[in-house]
Structure 1
C-alpha cells in the first residue's frame, strides 16, 4: 500500500534532522534546569536557551530581552492581547482585526468582547487581503490594539503589514502580528515594519511542537503586558514555568536551517507551485484558485474544484 502524500505543511511540519540532532543532547546528557545557574548543568542549559534567543532575535532584528518563550503561538497571542488590554483599559476598550484571522486571535477577541470590549472586524477582498485604508479609518481615539496576521494560514495571502504598522504607529496604537506562517520563511524586520508584538511557533518551520515565542517591543514604544502565568518569575517574570530547553534549542536550530535554505527553497517552491496550478487548471478549467497568484506564500496552493463532490475528488 502506498504512503499518502503529505500536503499539510501549513498545519505542521516534520522535524528537520539537523534540528533533532541539536535537541538530543538536552534530552540525554545536558538535562539541567536553565533556572539553576548555581551549578554547571544549569548554566549550560541557560546558555543554550540564550543562544536560541539570540538566533530568534536576530531573525527579527530585535533585542534578546524582547523575546519571550511560550508553549506555542496560541499562548503568545493570548499573552499579547490579554496583556495589552489589561494595561491599556484606561485609555480605551476598542480592538481591530480582520475576519480571516486565526481562531487564536478571533476567539481571544471574542473573550474580550464578553468582558465589555468593542471589536471591529474588517472585511477582506476577493483575494483575502485587508485594505490598509480601512485599518486607518477604523482607528479611534479609544483603540488600543490592531491584530493582523502576516500571511493567511488557509490561502496564503500576504498582508500589507508594513503599511498597517506605519499607520498604527502614526496613531499611537499597538500592532500585533500573527507570523506563524511567515516566520523563518519570509524576511521580517520588526523595526522597518513597525511591529510591536509578534507571535510565532516552532512546528511550522521544521522545529518541535510545544514551543513558541512572543516578541514584545521594549523601546519606542515599550510594551507593558499584564502577566498571565504566575509562579517562578521565568522569562523576566513575563511567563512562569520551567523552560523546555530541548524545545527551545530546536526552535533556534530550525531558524538557522531556514536562514540557510530559505531563498533557494522559496524560489523552487514558487516554480513548483505555479506549475502545479497551471497544469491543474489546464486539465480542469472549472478549478478556481483561491487567493492571489502573486503576493502569496511560495508553498501555498488552495483550490476550489467546482462541480466535483468531495468523494470523487479524493478517490
Structure 2
C-alpha cells in the first residue's frame, strides 16, 4: 500500500520553462509520479491500484498524434493480489466458496525455464511472502500450491475473490517453469498481477488555447488507445477547469511557489541529491529530507 503522504509537484510555468518542468519530471521518483495520478482531478487511479510506474519524457518516436505531448506515464494497474486467507465469516458458506471456484481456466505459464533469482522475483512481484515462495519452488511434481486472491474493480473497490493454483517444474540445469490455473466464479482474471496503462501528459502554457490543448490530448489518447490523459496547468478559470474535466481531462495544478521562503531542497543537507540547494525545485515534501544543522 502506498503511503498517503505523497510528494506534490509544484512549480510556476511563468517562471519555469517547459524544459525545466520536463527535467523535474525526469528526476521524479516513484512517489512523486504516483502523486500525479492520485492527486489530479479527477483522480486517474487510487494509490493501492498502482504498482510499478515510470515516465518517458517527450513524445514516442514515429507515433502520429503525440507530437504535442510532453511525456507519457506508464503504470501497472493492479488487478488482483493475494488475500490474507480464504473468504470467511457469516457471508460465506461452503456452498458460496464452491460457487467462487466453479469455473477453471486453462493452464497458464508465468515463466518458462528461468533461473532461481528470476523465479523468486516473479513470485515476489505477484505478492507472495518468502515462506510461500519457498513452498511453491519446492513443490513435488504432482503438488499444487493453492491461494486465495482478491480482485480490484476499476474504481479501486474490492471485487469477487478467486483461487489460484500454482505448480513448479524444476530441471537439472537449475531452471524453473512456473505455471498456474485460476478457479473463479464467472469472469476469468485478466492477468497474473496487473495491466500496464499509458497516460499522455501535457504541460499547459499561459498562451495555450483551450481548443488546441484539448485536440492535442484527444489525439494522444487515440494514438495510445487509452481513455485517460493528464494536463499539468497553471491558473485556470472555473469555466476552463469544468470544460477540461467534462472532456475527460485530469488536471494537476502547478502553483506559484513563494519567492521569499527558501525551498525545501535549499533547507536540506543531502548534498548528493540532484535537487540539492535548488531554489526553483518543485519538491514540497521528501522522505529523504535531512534538515540543515
Fold match (TM-score > 0.5): no
TM-score, normalised to structure 2's length? 0.23
Larger Rg: 2
TM-score, normalised to structure 1's length? 0.22
